[in-house]
Structure 1
Amino acid sequence: MKFKKALLLMGLSCFLAAGTAAAVEASVKEDDPNVRKVEASVKEFRDANGETPLVHVYTPEEITEWVILGTDLYNLKDVNACQFSDDIVLRARKHVAAAYDYLYSHMLLTGSCVPRDTAMGIFYLEKAADLAYPAALRKLGFFYETGRYVAQDTVKAEALMREAAEMGYVPARIDWAGMLLRDLGSAQDMPEAWVLLKKSVKSTPWEEEYITLYIQELESRIPENVLAEAARKSFY
């Protein structure tokens, strides 16, 4: 009898200890700033009905940095083995930010981590462009110039590229200058393109090479007095 009583007391003490431990753990989690930070991040990306929290993986800022460097698909496919592709798709479909629309369009157009679907890829690329995402404006401009995936329209191509260039997107500034040098658009815009290139900060060897080249080519076509006047202007 005494042995059974001892076992009963031992079981009761273990139950109370487990309950205390659980309470302490809950208290720690509740007060942990890291937990609160994660909860806030998840809450921020809930859908319109406040349901189905989305797991935060890539930020729009991270994606944009990769897009500028040309490593967005490399990071998605090679570094992370497509394990976060479902998250990108979900965020793009909910239009959380233009960067997700753009990355999903790139995935669809190249068949990276998702089945290739060019029509849907252009749809999401246009969504990102409608939100004035510079990389989307630039890529659409390229497609309209070459007639790839869309009907060729060089006027629209130059307008899209100019918009992205004037927003400060360095790759688009380079491509806009290239368009003008290929006689797309107006020669009167060359001084502006020259100033934008002169003010651009080079981030990659490709940008360094083409900015230097196009500045020289523009200077060979623009009269010196026009260059001097343009240099005094503050375009953007």
Structure 2
Amino acid sequence: MKVALVTGASRGIGRATALLLARQGYAVGVNYLRDESAARQVVAEIEAQGGKALALQADVADEAQVMAMFSALVNNAGILFRQANIEQLTAERINKVLGTNVTGYFLCCREAVKRMARRHGGQGGAIVNVSSAASRLGAPGEYVDYAASKGAVDSLTIGLSLEVAAQGIRVNGVRPGLIYTEIHASGGEPGRVDRVKSSLPMQRGGQPQEVAEAIAWLLSDAASYVTGTFIEAAGGR
């Protein structure tokens, strides 16, 4: 049976990805940081559909906690603070964003590679890093720190894909745009997608399931010759 570990899987895009992968036959590790109840609800939904899942608590910015979790990986965990311009950013906030959104991704990728690489006796595998359209757009006046962290994720994705291609490991990314998830409430504006959706070429926000479909394709054998690339799931923006 194929195994996938989905970080940040208790809500939003991570939750939708975990449920979709389970329907496609993966045994799913449902990683969460604090909300055990939500993670166990995802596990229960998967098991009710005849799938296999396990809730795994870990802070992906903590090296010791990351090291226990791996077989296959969707790297989705991310944090976002309230909207702010550059003059309002503090070192504490910047370092927290970078800790989860950059260090956490590096640690998760490292542990996945240790288990997947042929030189370690692995059989190869696939990693999908969930970035953001903000890495291209910069998120001025709102989330420049978050956008910068996702720019680092893009660079990690490209560089790592080249580093481990000969080891049978594919590394790709998905860049979601304005998606209806709880992360906008963390930024202080729960209705942000509805406020700005008219500026998008497609005139609507996206759903977590739509991003999950892109992630699942990149993990699948249908994408067996695809590495070091990104799917833009941003409504044309």
Q: Which has the higher helix share?
A: 1
Larger gyration radius, structure 1 or structure 2: 1
Q: Which has the higher strand share?
A: 2
Q: TM-score, normalised by structure 1?
A: 0.28
- Highest RCO, 1 vs 2 (Cα 8 Å, sep ≥ 6): 2
